Amino acid sequence: MMGWYNQGGSGLWMILMPLMWIAIIGIAAWVVVMITRSSSKSNHVRAETPDEILRRRLAEGHITNEEYVQTRDLLHNRQ
């Protein structure tokens, strides 16, 4: 009766265990890649155009309406 614990399907586990670990490591790597991709995309900030900056400065009260019109005309080469 000695050694019977080693019979009955141990060969199958010798194949499945490495495959299971490969799958677990692969899934973990995929999760890390997806997390880093999504965080790098969300941190990207679009730069303001000159017109947007000018409108924001007018809205915040840093420039007057006359200064806005004059600067906008200079930006668009209107004279």
> Could you report the per-residue pLDDT of 9-46, keeping only the tens digit for each?
567 778 889 999 999 999 999 999 988 887 656 556 77
Residue 71 has pLDDT above 90, yes or no: yes
Whole-angstrom Cα distance, residue 75 to residue 16?
Answer: 68
pLDDT value, residue 46: 78
Residue 50 has pLDDT above 60, yes or no: yes
* Strand ranges in the chain using DSSP code E only, listed in sequence order: none
Nearest Cα residue to 71 out of 79, 59, 46, 47:
79
Residue 56 has pLDDT above 60, yes or no: yes
Whole-angstrom Cα distance, residue 23 to residue 17?
Answer: 10
Q: How far is CA 26 from CA 10, 18, 31, 32, 47, in A?
A: 25, 12, 9, 10, 37
